[in-house]
Copies of this chain bind each other. A is one copy, B any other.
């Protein structure tokens, strides 16, 4: 096989075979195909697409570029969740203990935040001592002990994805449905799961801003899961405003604690319980998503969810006293309130800008090398469809960098549009696909 011929084939809009895709991925991973040829191939895929079969073959080639974890020795079903990312999305921290407490294993491998979007690993590492960098042995042993693990991607899992992702990031080939699908699914399938719940975000704070693009991605992800005989449920959910109110790593841990203690209401709770409900259903511990959601509510109300969270934190080396007494956590040097400059009904929120504002305060990173401040972030109150009054507090800002405050305040105020007429709230769960 000849690399240039294969690039040419995709460039001309033709379909590649299983063998051809394997050849490209395995030789690229081995360093036998140089970056400059693979990036030209990636751009051809970006512009000419891949059909369902090609996407499944690409996923498979990336999956088998490394180890596929075998969790057969662990009793019970293993179900994971993947979200395409957004602002304030801390559902993984909430649903993992709930689902594990319901008797379904959650072997979760997560990523870091980049740009406007947060990452589960960064949130977990805001807990002093919490280790996300575990070996394969520890990974299995933690699941065995408590029914869940919250880990980072190990070197053994889908090394092709890591290489391909780095290249996509610098060659303008990120937003491609077959490439996103293969990247997500190769990692998730390598975890040794039986089923997967997908939370595909849509709206101003999502990578896919348009509903139809989110739907296409959800279709591609579920088709690929089916091709690998995995059970899958996909939700398309709103990301036109932050999920919950807390944005920033420790702030999100804090809000998760409050949800797990049953002290919260609203979109974050609703979505978390629906996702955990779907996972419990896929794990065979409920007869429907609805029943799974009811079970989830009971598990939170009984205190079992919070106890399970403490157990996971302890097993992964985290400081449990901080979870029990979050008021002890170090405070940001600066804490300022943002005051509404107009009265009206909230019409739209540029949620991307809200995420970028939090990043500016220190909560995120522009490049993978940037350091983040776990304390920094925003508590953001406005929700589309509600009313705000000039002069009232609409957000709290936390940072160690005083000079950032003014620009962040301006950014947040201009991210919110208000109307004199009543506006309607957004639908949280837009679509549920059970396949």
Interfacial residues, chain A to chain B (CB-CB below 8 A): 3-5, 7-8, 11, 34-40, 42-44, 46-48, 167, 170-173
Do the beta carbons of A42 and B40 come within 8 Å of each other?
yes
A-B contact pairs, 25 of them (CB 8 A): A3-B170, A4-B170, A4-B171, A4-B172, A5-B172, A7-B43, A7-B171, A11-B43, A11-B46, A11-B47, A11-B172, A34-B36, A35-B36, A36-B170, A37-B39, A39-B39, A39-B40, A40-B40, A40-B42, A40-B171, A40-B172, A43-B44, A43-B47, A44-B47, A47-B47
* Cα(A8)–Cα(B44), bound, Å: 13
- How many copies of the chain does the oligomer comprise? 2
* Cα(A3)–Cα(B170), bound, Å: 8
* Cα(A8)–Cα(B37), bound, Å: 18
**Which B residues are CB-close (under 8 A) to A171?**
4, 7, 36-37, 40
Do the beta carbons of A7 and B44 come within 8 Å of each other?
no
Q: How far is the CB of A44 from chain B (nearest CB, A)?
A: 6
* Cα(A46)–Cα(B13), bound, Å: 13
Which A-B residue pairs are the 5 nearest by beta carbons? A35-B36, A40-B171, A43-B43, A7-B172, A8-B172
* Cα(A60)–Cα(B394), bound, Å: 53
Q: How far is the CB of A295 from chain B (nearest CB, A)?
A: 45
* Cα(A200)–Cα(B171), bound, Å: 34
Q: How far is the CB of A41 from chain B (nearest CB, A)?
A: 8
**Which B residues are CB-close (under 8 A) to A46?**
11
* Cα(A48)–Cα(B48), bound, Å: 11
Residue of B nearest to A5 (CB): B172
* Cα(A364)–Cα(B196), bound, Å: 56
**Which B residues are CB-close (under 8 A) to A48?**
47
**Which B residues are CB-close (under 8 A) to A35?**
34-36
* Cα(A15)–Cα(B432), bound, Å: 40
**Which B residues are CB-close (under 8 A) to A7?**
43, 171-172
Do the beta carbons of B172 and A36 come within 8 Å of each other?
no
Q: How far is the CB of A48 from chain B (nearest CB, A)?
A: 7
**Which B residues are CB-close (under 8 A) to A47?**
11, 43-44, 47-48
**Which B residues are CB-close (under 8 A) to A170?**
3-4, 36-37
**Which B residues are CB-close (under 8 A) to A36?**
34-36, 38-39, 167, 170-171
**Which B residues are CB-close (under 8 A) to A5?**
172
**Which B residues are CB-close (under 8 A) to A34?**
35-36
**Which B residues are CB-close (under 8 A) to A172?**
4-5, 7-8, 11, 40, 44
**Which B residues are CB-close (under 8 A) to A8?**
172
